[in-house]
């Protein structure tokens, strides 16, 4: 019954990507929108944005199309077309973009959905996580493209 002691030299060579909150499409969207805010009331097309932001063109196109479908941008087709902000700069937040590109926020969805959480301690945990979540949501809502301009 001698304990098998943990190896001391455990370099933790983990090749994980790491915990991240913001994906590239959200990030690109935020930057594109900030740029468009700078060109207020001027139609901007994908080519302009690509020159400025150095984002792969087809990817950025897809992102802008989604922003259009979600009502963040107005789109003009045809020659001389492009995009315009559809809403006020104050109403476009990082949180909103994350919800569009990454889905709803649920930092700690309780893993016992139906089984009824059997562990009292876990609910203490849930309260702590919920508190963190509330803070993060509040702060991310405050990061609007207006606040970054």
Partner DNA sequence: GAGTAATGATACCACATCAGTATCATTTGT
Partner DNA sequence: ACAAATGATACTGATGTGGTATCATTACTC
Length, in residues, of the chain: 149
Cβ-based nearer residue to DNA, 38 or 81: 81
**Phi, psi for 144 (deg, rounded to 5):** -105, 165
Query: What is residue 15's three-state secondary structure?
Result: coil
Q: Which candidate, 44, 145, 34, 45, places its Cα nearest to that of 95?
A: 145
Cβ-based nearer residue to DNA, 56 or 147: 56
Q: Which does 47 bind (CB under 5 to 8 A by kind): DNA, its own copies, none?
A: DNA
Residue choice 36, 82, 85, 144 for contact with DNA (CB under 7 A): 82
Q: Which candidate, 140, 121, 120, places its Cα nearest to that of 132?
A: 140
Q: Which does 125 bind (CB under 5 to 8 A by kind): its own copies, DNA, none?
A: its own copies
Should residue 17 be labelled a site residue for DNA when binding is judged by CB under 7 A?
yes
| Residue window 24-63: x/- pattern of binding to DNA, with contact defined by CB under 7 A | xx-------------------xxx--------xxxx-xx-
The β-bridge partners of 74 are 84
Give the HSE-up count for residue 103: Cα atoms under 13 Å, Cβ half-sphere: 2
Should residue 65 be labelled a site residue for DNA when binding is judged by CB under 7 A?
yes
- Smallest separation (angstroms) from DNA to the CB of 101: 7
């Amino acid at each position: 019954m001698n304990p098998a002691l943990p190896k001391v030299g455990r370099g933790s060579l983990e090749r994980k990507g790491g915990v991240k909150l913001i994906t590239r499409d959200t990030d690109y969207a935020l930057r594109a929108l900030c740029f468009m805010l700078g060109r207020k009331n001027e139609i901007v097309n994908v080519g302009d944005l690509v020159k400025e932001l150095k984002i792969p063109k087809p990817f950025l196109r897809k992102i802008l199309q989604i922003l259009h479908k979600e009502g963040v941008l107005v789109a003009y087709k045809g020659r001389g077309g492009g995009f315009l902000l559809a809403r006020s700069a104050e109403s476009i937040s990082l949180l909103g973009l994350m919800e569009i590109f990454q889905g709803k926020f649920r930092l700690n969805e309780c893993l016992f959905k139906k089984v009824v959480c059997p562990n009292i301690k876990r609910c203490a945990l849930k309260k702590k996580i919920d508190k963190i979540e509330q803070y993060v949501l509040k702060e991310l809502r405050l990061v609007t493209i207006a606040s970054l301009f």
